[in-house]
C-alpha cells in the first residue's frame, strides 16, 4: 500500500542550513549534507531543500550542495527557491535532484510549468503555492506571503495541474509558524479538485496535527521544519503514532 510521506524541509542560505538544528548531536548542524543523511537514517521519506539566499553566487553554491546531497543520501529530495528557467532545472536535475519546486516564477509565467513537464516529465515538477485566507477567499501570495496576487488558490491549483505539474506543495500562510495544525479544510478541497499528490505545509505542532492532515486534509505528504529540527517530534515516534491511528506509513 502506498504510504503517507513525512517530509522535513531545510532552509538553505549560501549552502548552509539557516535555522539551528538540535535534535541530534551533530558535529556540523549547519551542513545540509550531514543533516540530510541523518534525516534519511531517522526515517524521513523525502527531503525538501529551500534556497532562501539571494546572492549572485547562489546557483553555483546550490549546484554543489545538490551534488553532495545526491552523492550521499539514498532517499528522494526536492530543491526549491529562485528557480525560474528550464536551464535552472536542467542544471539541478543533472546534479542529482529528483524534483524541483517552483513558486513565484510559475505565477509570473505559468508556461514555465508546461515547459518543464514537457522537457523533464511531470514527475519532477512540484508547484509550491503559498496562500492566505482573506475573508472567505483563499488568495495566492508571493515572497513568503508578503505580496498578494489577484489569483484564487483553487483556480490556480487546477491550472497548475492542467499545465502538467506532478505534485502540489500547499502552504497556508495563516497556519505557517502557528504550530496549531494544518489548513485541513482547504487541503481536502484541493484534493477533491485535482488528481495529483498534495504535500501539506504550515502549522505542524503535534503528532495529532499530522494525523489530522492525512485523515481530514486528505494530504499525501506532510512537510514541516522546526518540529523536526528541534527534536520536538522524532520522526519514528510520529510514524508509530500514525500507524496506530490506521494511517499507512513506512516503518
Partner 1 sequence: MNLKIVNYGAGNIKSIQFAFQRLGYNAVLTSDANDILKADKVIFPGVGEASSAMKKLEESGLDALIPELKQPVLGICLGMQLMCKHTEEGDTKGLGIFNTDVKRFSNQVKVPQMGWNTIKNLKSDLFKNIDEDDYMYLVHSYYAKNCNETIANSDYEIEYASALENDNFFGVQFHPEKSGKTGEQLLKNFLEL
In the window 187-216, what residues touch partner 1 (CB under 8 A)?
195-197
Task: Give one word for 114, left, alpha or beta, with left for phi > 0 and alpha for psi -120 to 50.
Answer: alpha
Q: Rule CB under 8 A: is residue 234 a binding residue for partner 1?
A: no
Q: Cell numbers at residue 134, please?
A: 482573506
In the window 46-85, what residues touch partner 1 (CB under 8 A)?
46, 67, 70-72, 74-76
Q: Rule CB under 8 A: is residue 221 a binding residue for partner 1?
A: yes
Q: Where are the alpha helices (DSSP H) in 109-217?
A: 111-120, 153-162, 184-193, 207-215
Q: Rule CB under 8 A: is residue 3 a binding residue for partner 1?
A: yes
Are the C-beta atoms of 127 and 102 separated by less than 8 Å?
Answer: yes
Residues that contact partner 1, how many (by CB under 8 A): 34
Helix or strand holding residue 36 (H, E): helix 32-41
Candidate list 96, 110, 145, 234; residue touching partner 1; CB under 8 A: 96
Are the C-beta atoms of 122 and 165 separated by less than 8 Å?
Answer: yes
Q: Rule CB under 8 A: is residue 8 a binding residue for partner 1?
A: no
Q: Rule CB under 8 A: is residue 146 a binding residue for partner 1?
A: no
Which backbone phi and psi does 16 adopt, to 5 degrees? -125, 150
Task: In angstroms, give the least distance from the CB of 182 to partner 1.
Answer: 18
CA gap 234, 239 in Å, rounded: 9
Nearer to partner 1, 173 or 187 (CB): 187
Candidate list 14, 31, 98, 232; residue touching partner 1; CB under 8 A: 98
Task: Give one word for 207, left, alpha or beta, with left for phi > 0 and alpha for psi -120 to 50.
Answer: alpha
Three-class secondary structure of residue 105 per DSSP: helix
Q: Rule CB under 8 A: is residue 97 a binding residue for partner 1?
A: yes
Candidate list 17, 122, 171, 174; residue touching partner 1; CB under 8 A: 122
- Catalytic residue numbers? 11, 130
Nearer to partner 1, 7 or 173 (CB): 7
| Residues that bind partner 1 in the complex, under the rule CB under 8 A | 1-5, 40, 45-46, 67, 70-72, 74-76, 93-98, 120-124, 166-167, 195-197, 220-221, 250
Amino acid at each position: 500500500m502506498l504510504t503517507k510521506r513525512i517530509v522535513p524541509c531545510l532552509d538553505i542560505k549560501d549552502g548552509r542550513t539557516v535555522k539551528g538544528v538540535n535534535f541530534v548531536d551533530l558535529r556540523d548542524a549547519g551542513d545540509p549534507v550531514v543533516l540530510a543523511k541523518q534525516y534519511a537514517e531517522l526515517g524521513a521519506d523525502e527531503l525538501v531543500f529551500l534556497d532562501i539566499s539571494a546572492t549572485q553566487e547562489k546557483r553555483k553554491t546550490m549546484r554543489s550542495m545538490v551534488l553532495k546531497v545526491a552523492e550521499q543520501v539514498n532517499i528522494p529530495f526536492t530543491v526549491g527557491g529562485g528557480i525560474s528557467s528550464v536551464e535552472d532545472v536542467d542544471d539541478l536535475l543533472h546534479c542529482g535532484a529528483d524534483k524541483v519546486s517552483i513558486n513565484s516564477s510559475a505565477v509570473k509565467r505559468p508556461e514555465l510549468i508546461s515547459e518543464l513537464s514537457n522537457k523533464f516529465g511531470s514527475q519532477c515538477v512540484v508547484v509550491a503555492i503559498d496562500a492566505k485566507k482573506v475573508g472567505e477567499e483563499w488568495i495566492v501570495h508571493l515572497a513568503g506571503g508578503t505580496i498578494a496576487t489577484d489569483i484564487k488558490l483553487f483556480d490556480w491549483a487546477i491550472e497548475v495541474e492542467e499545465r502538467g505539474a506532478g505534485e502540489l506543495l500547499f502552504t497556508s500562510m495563516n497556519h505557517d509558524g502557528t504550530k496549531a495544525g494544518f489548513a485541513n479544510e482547504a487541503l481536502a478541497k484541493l484534493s477533491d479538485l485535482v488528481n495529483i499528490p498534495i504535500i501539506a505545509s504550515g502549522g505542524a505542532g503535534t503528532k495529532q496535527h499530522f494525523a489530522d492532515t492525512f485523515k481530514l486534509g486528505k494530504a499525501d505528504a506532510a512537510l514541516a521544519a522546526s518540529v523536526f529540527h528541534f527534536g520536538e517530534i522524532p520522526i519514528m515516534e510520529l510514524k508509530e503514532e500514525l500507524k496506530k491511528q490506521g494511517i499507512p506509513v513506512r516503518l
